[in-house]
Amino acid sequence: MNTFDLLMLGFSEAMTPANLGFCLIGALLGTLIGVLPGIGPTATIAVLLPITFFLPPLAGIIMLAGIYYGAQYGGSTTAILVNLPGEASAVVTTLDGYQMAQQGRAGAALAVAALGSFFAGTVATFGIAIAGPMLSSFALDFGPAEYVSLMLFGLLAATILASGPVLKAIGMILIGLLFGMVGTDQATGAERLTFGSIDLFDGIEFTVIAIGLFGFTEIITNLERSGSEGVKVAPLTRLWPTREDFRRAWPAVLRGTGIGTFLGILPGGGATLASFSSYSLEKKVSKNPRAFGHGAVEGVAAPEAANNAAAQSSFIPLLTLGIPSNNMMAMMLSAFMIHGITPGPTVLTNQPEIFWGLVASMWIGNLLLVVINLPLIGLWVRLLTVPYRLLYPAILLFCCVGIYSINNRIFDVLLAAGFGLLGYIFRKAKCEPGPLLLGFVLGPLLEANLRRALLISQGDASVFIERPISLTMLIATVVLLALMILPSFRKKREEAFQEEEA
């Protein structure tokens, strides 16, 4: 059977009424938990996992997958409307998405995010179908040394996210690295920066730091404004993006899709790296980089496309090699194993209906998500006209519930409140929290892989330049660094941000 026949087999499996129903349930549930800050797909799937015992294997897996990519859609909604990234990959969406909402273009931002995600999801789904096995072997070439170089590049590129001085951005990354170190050292069991507190034993949860720095800070900042009227948005002229928006968004979506599909297959921070790499790229190729951070439609389209493509393509290593690339995929692996299916090449040949049924259901699920989300845009946008005094206490409540539910600990809620205050100070000092979050996410990965790389090479650091992929990325890092130090570039960059200061 060729790919086309197999895909048809997949569609015939995925289109059965029961499987369509479970796909819809998963997508709806995913959208819901994505919109609610703090409640992530990993927790939801862990809770629902035992239920799948009683479902046919494909139906259960289709539903769980639906939750996963549904949450990616839902997460962008809160990022755009209330400046709250639900997970690491949505951090960059807040930069321009929230600005667009402030300018009365929330509808356009949500529509671009939904359509961009749909397009990216479609491409990535067919990417899995056609090139899955080939791409997965590439992911395996990424060893510890390659990750070290990739993370270094990522950390440096994170400075591009900020629109202030480079030095401040680097400072924020370093603070992020410091927060990432809190907890027990995985290799030796030694405690770092826990101050003897058992609550810091596991380090700081991403959600705690993200909701604190973005959500709480936003609310505190808004308290400064007088009165309790709704967000001062420009009059809502239209819900739908303009033709100009589409013209600017589609190349960004294309690039985002490519980066997302590619980086999504890498284990670890794939989706996160994908969304902010694509944002950095857009800012680099744009003729008008100063628009970024002020509601540039490309700044929403590219990372949204990238993180959705990455969400899909992270299934590639799981389905073709049986290797989960993140916690979510580890959950999916458990779901497979509960039904006695071991994902890997043998499933592709012996149970093609499982693999292709899932691939087809992902495309159907993405279609369902657009259908669910587009009519809802009007409703979401109207949320912004709700007065602060009603909207913000509600957001605060959802945030607290979400944070508490991660570990059932009040400590996390207090910690998030502390980060809220810290975020407020950062905002007053004109330091942006985006680079801090990326330092926080990438730092621990960098450290663990640096150790592994040096253990394997028996302390020989030349391993980083001897391996071609690693060397390429190191060169890219050096080039980026040189560009930042060179006076002409610096001048241009400062010029770009001069206007905002004025």
- Restricted to residues 197-256, the positions that interact with other proteins (CB under 8 A) are 198, 201-202
- Residue closer to other proteins, measured from CB, 187 or 482: 187
- Residue closer to other proteins, measured from CB, 197 or 242: 197
Two structure tokens written together for 486: 């060179």
Q: Is 488 in the site for other proteins (CB under 8 A)?
A: no
> Where does this chain touch other proteins (CB under 8 A) — which range of 23-31, 280-288, 325-333, 421-429?
325-333
Q: Is 63 in the site for other proteins (CB under 8 A)?
A: no
Query: Which string of DSSP letters, residue by residue, matches 286-323?
Result: -S-GGGTTS--THHHHHHHHHHHHHHHHTHHHHHHHS-
Q: Is 352 in the site for other proteins (CB under 8 A)?
A: no
* Least spacing, CB of residue 343 vs other proteins, in Å: 8
Q: Is 371 in the site for other proteins (CB under 8 A)?
A: no
Q: Which of 56, 133, 165, 322 binds other proteins (CB under 8 A)?
A: 322
The amino acid that residue 28 corresponds to is: L
- Restricted to residues 441-460, the positions that interact with other proteins (CB under 8 A) are 448, 451-452, 455-456, 458
- In the shown chain, the binding pattern of residues 397 to 426 toward other proteins, with x for contact by CB under 8 A and - for none, equals ----------xx------------------
* Least spacing, CB of residue 358 vs other proteins, in Å: 17
Distance from C-alpha of 221 to C-alpha of 459, rounded to nearest angstrom: 49
* Least spacing, CB of residue 51 vs other proteins, in Å: 9
- Restricted to residues 156-185, the positions that interact with other proteins (CB under 8 A) are 183-185
Beta-strand ranges (E) seen in 355-476 are: none
Distance from C-alpha of 166 to C-alpha of 482, rounded to nearest angstrom: 13
Two structure tokens written together for 453: 């790389």
Distance from C-alpha of 361 to C-alpha of 367, rounded to nearest angstrom: 10
Distance from C-alpha of 370 to C-alpha of 118, rounded to nearest angstrom: 7
Helical (H) or strand (E) element with 89:
none
Q: Is 462 in the site for other proteins (CB under 8 A)?
A: no
- Residue closer to other proteins, measured from CB, 4 or 54: 54
Distance from C-alpha of 92 to C-alpha of 435, rounded to nearest angstrom: 10
Q: Which of 215, 317, 433, 443 binds other proteins (CB under 8 A)?
A: 317
Helical (H) or strand (E) element with 58:
helix 57-82
Q: Is 342 in the site for other proteins (CB under 8 A)?
A: yes
- Residue closer to other proteins, measured from CB, 324 or 357: 324
Two structure tokens written together for 375: 């009519």
- Residue closer to other proteins, measured from CB, 49 or 236: 49
Q: Is 55 in the site for other proteins (CB under 8 A)?
A: no
The amino acid that residue 45 corresponds to is: I
- Residue closer to other proteins, measured from CB, 186 or 472: 186
Q: Rounded to whole angstroms, what are the CA distances from 338 to 21, 281, 314, 331, 343?
A: 21, 41, 20, 11, 12
Q: Rounded to whole angstroms, what are the CA distances from 363 to 10, 65, 126, 496?
A: 11, 11, 8, 40
Q: Is 351 in the site for other proteins (CB under 8 A)?
A: no
> What number of CA atoms fall less than 13 Å from residue 21's CA on the CB side?
5
Helices (H), 184-269: 206-210, 217-224, 243-264
Distance from C-alpha of 1 to C-alpha of 6, rounded to nearest angstrom: 6
What is the widest separation between alpha-carbon atoms in the chain?
67
- Restricted to residues 74-93, the positions that interact with other proteins (CB under 8 A) are none
Q: Which of 165, 171, 230, 344 binds other proteins (CB under 8 A)?
A: 344
> Where does this chain touch other proteins (CB under 8 A) — which range of 76-84, 327-335, 357-365, 414-422?
327-335
* Least spacing, CB of residue 71 vs other proteins, in Å: 16
* Cβ neighbourhood burial of 383 (10 Å; 0-12, 13-18, 19+): middle
Do residues 91 and 83 lie in contact, with contact meaning Cβ atoms separated by under 8 Å? no
Q: Which of 46, 390, 425, 482 binds other proteins (CB under 8 A)?
A: 46
Helical (H) or strand (E) element with 184:
strand 183-184
Q: Is 140 in the site for other proteins (CB under 8 A)?
A: yes
* Least spacing, CB of residue 454 vs other proteins, in Å: 10
Q: Which of 73, 98, 118, 142 binds other proteins (CB under 8 A)?
A: 142
Footprint of other proteins on this chain (CB under 8 A)?
A: 42, 46-47, 49-50, 53, 139-144, 183-189, 191, 198, 201-202, 267, 317, 321-325, 327, 329-331, 333-334, 337-340, 342, 344-346, 407-408, 448, 451-452, 455-456, 458
